[in-house]
Amino acid sequence: MRLAILTLVFEDFMLPCFTKQLFGFDCPGCGLQRSIAFLIQGDFIAAFKMYPAIYPIMALSGFLLLDHFQKIKYSSMITSFLMVTTVAFILGNYILKFI
């Protein structure tokens, strides 16, 4: 019950894409908010279909948070790998939208 209310409240406050409104095409971040809404609902496949970079973003954020509290050996290499992976997913998704 609370999850449904949280989802409804979250969806009411989603920001519109100003790039899409001004120029008529999606930006690289289009779909991120809806993907988060799907994650809150527990629909992990729909979240991936909406914005495939959601999982690399979550992995990078989780690792950075963990590294902040507990220093991890080779953290700079792991962070660099996760950042490159995240950017690759974002750009790959963005390019595929135009094909």
What is the pLDDT at residue 80? 97
Q: Burial of 47 by CB count in 10 Å (0-12 exposed, 13-18 middle, 19+ buried)?
A: buried
Global pTM value: 0.80
Average pLDDT over residues 73-80: 95
- CA-based end-to-end distance of the chain: 40
Check: CB of residue 41 under 8 Å from CB of residue 3. yes
For 26-73, the pLDDT digits (tens) are: 888 888 999 999 998 899 999 999 999 999 999 999 999 999 999 899
